[in-house]
Structure 1
């Protein structure tokens, strides 16, 4: 949280994470892939007196994973779609992000505490880049990662209830959303939650876990 409210001078603070999945009903769930869902027939458009209609069944046209990095100083997003999210894809994405950062710049990366972010390959990558520092969010605290706001926007504005006839069409829609966001909607990220709110959320979470354990 300190990196949000009082970032280091002359440093870049990045919020990095992988995408959510949007299923056929339009709801989203935490996962590593976005599905390109089509319909067996094209939807019939809305017209006076009639709502838009769609077939009840869908056609799966493949999946992709979006890796994204949000620059908290500008609100701009760098994104890259990949077939899978492993350490290899994660490091390739970081190399892609690093291309847009001046050499010698201190870079602080806020990211989830998952295995693909902590592998031996990742540790080796960091050894060769002393200007880069990772800061992991607590377990089950993805909501603390600023880029989650962009994923929510992507799901609401572009992926929810969308119909894609191919995976390429889905990827193009994601890339178009990122491009539009960076050109028109990007704003510096501002952390608004109070410290006491975080403490209370932490207490409630542990209380819930204790209750679940006692009921087993």
Structure 2
């Protein structure tokens, strides 16, 4: 229900005359019957899902992978407070010295991968 609360918060905070487009991964929480019902009643919301086989498109997921690999897996913490402190320190450092992600594939390579994915999913319905 956290996702539904998030949608309701957006609905309150985004001016009513604007459409809301959300780019999401394919997590089942984003597709429950309750969410589908909510979306029917809120037609200005448009969900766009990243392809299942292309999680690298999800930069939030990529950022958490960076946090996990470079900070969380490299230490031992004896309390939740110590873990929270490490995460807060990581965030402070990241915000002080941001490191943008750089795509290593060309736009054509990305579009080719998306086209191949679309062909695979359209062929799977037969």
Deviation at 1:149, TM superposition (A): 2.8
Task: Show the 5 A alignment for 1:82-161.
Answer: 88-95=1-8, 98=10, 101-104=13-16, 105-161=18-74
Partner SS for 2:35: helix
Residues 183 and 99 of structure 1: CA distance in aligned 2, closer, same or farther (over 3 Å): farther
Count of residue pairs the alignment pairs up: 116
Counterpart in 1 of 2:106? 194
Higher helix content, 1 or 2: 2
Q: TM-score, normalised by structure 1?
A: 0.41
CA distance in 2, matches of 1:93, 1:177: 25
2:48 is paired with a residue whose SS is strand
**Greater Rg over alpha carbons, structure:** 1
Greater relative CO, 1 or 2 (CA 8 Å, sep 6+): 1
Can you list the C-alpha shifts for 1:153-210, whole angstroms capped at 9, x where unaligned?
21233212122212343244334534554465276x7766434313258759x9xxxx
Q: Which runs of 5+ in 2 are unaligned?
A: 120-126
Query: Where do 1:72-87 residues align within 5 Å?
Result: none
Gaps of 5+ in 1: 1-87, 207-216
| TM-score under structure 2 length normalisation | 0.62
| Residue of structure 1 in register with 2:83 after alignment | 170
Offset, 1:109: 1.4
Q: Comparing both structures, which one devotes a greater share of its residues to strand?
A: 1
Distance verdict in 2 for CA 1:173–1:100, change over 3 Å: farther
